[in-house]
Structure 1
């Protein structure tokens, strides 16, 4: 099983963000990807860089103006604000409104919360994170049974025209759209502990991409506003969204029970190719986790995903600097490789 990764993804290095009334150190650090990269090398995975597929695959799921905004946002901020930290503070209300021409207004227009501060190299990092997703899906389209994309920053909170929850471009949605060029029905199975709210936003009115998101109840846990069980899609997408919620403190058995509901729903959809939004932040020792996943549970998930028998793009999402991050990634990915070898 090949892995795709580009070192330029490490260049986005946010220091802190404003959360629940206080500045805290930013948990989405380059070290996350370094730990997983080094684990892959230790275990003999072949890591290849992505080709540059251009902006078209990104703009296929994102508003083109949104994509273009990030190219020079940092430079514009420095010209306007000097040394002030580039953290968005002005946000539009629920009325549609209109986009300001000011960098202050535009940063708040496109960034829905304070978790996506700009850094000097944000554009380069998020561009190559998306290219990693494109390459991963392209390898699947051209015949690889399963490919792992070590995408960082993550993507599943990014909406069609809004950054959110550490995410700028929605890598899983980008990958799913690439797969749709070859396959009639694609599913995204989001097993990060947080709602795949951005992926939901992008595909909510489409019937060709099934989204199943397994996450802690958004009524009491981020991302708060999307991911409820009664949100099932609209228009042509009615019935093509499934939100499987967990309560804080959920045991591994409870998580796996709901996971298997997702497996069945994806199979019932008639899925021809699969994207896994792969989060390791359900681990019980992850800094952002409120549930009880262990390495044993991640291995079970990995093997059951492979047994679905679908061409699969694994796209890295969450999983933060807790003690078991590298170990859980190792368990999941080596179990996937082992299970794949049984089908060769």
Structure 2
């Protein structure tokens, strides 16, 4: 049975709240910074470690899951199916919100049907049906791919593939992108096609595969990783970040084409190292509630934001600071309310099951309710 990691619970909560804050306030305020402050954008680029660390957590826990399962293949398939079903629910919401209305409004002509199919394809496999869910398809693809490498005992080849992919991404959407010239597929693809190709490469290989693999490798060598001294990871991460930031500030101008800084790799590993070292009995006592709130907040905050804008008739571009605070607070409270409702439902189910059957293992209940990677509570 896998160990319980309170730091992962803390990270999920902090990560979900950080994503909520970023989508409600931070990205809008950061995009409005004057050009002379563009250096801050490069600094933020080097510190975008939340999603990469989510991938590392997923790889770490999934590896522990399949190595402790009687049938590793069945475990991975259940994992992929569980997350896929949750993702599919949001895809259906997207279809109801965008695809169906556009087909009804513009007619089901071959041209419009093809256009809506392209939009739906991009929403499902690249951009996500909602802004915060773009990371799910690369996660599913990465877990399946890394498991295939591990099952065939070819993780060394996976590491070489990841290293080559990360290097390529540095030329495509990373620090070395000015050396790439006109971009990926220049002369063969138009500007939009190049942008989509670069996003696919960066998200699936640069983020998903690399950081899920990193989590799996840490899980395989957990004892050795924990034994590493903090300064052994922190000093190189700080040095690489400082050099990269200095080069970007000296030679480059900020654009949204920058997606994957080289420093993200050592910075994410450093963050994950800190996550694994957190110890707290109190966190364990509230494990299920915190995980439930984290999942609801991460998956549900964008629909709640859209609902709040509709209810108040607000537009983000014209909102003042007081409206921003109301917007943030109301979205947070809605996430908390839905979490409480799910908690009441779970307590009701537990009460009924107590009368008729043994209570299932807490870790399995949590996995079933979350649909996202979670650590099992041992002991």
* TM-score for the superposition, normalised by structure 2: 0.25
Larger relative contact order (Cα-Cα within 8 Å, sequence gap ≥ 6): 2
Larger strand proportion, structure 1 or 2? Answer: 1
* TM-score for the superposition, normalised by structure 1: 0.26
The structure with the largest alpha-carbon Rg is 2
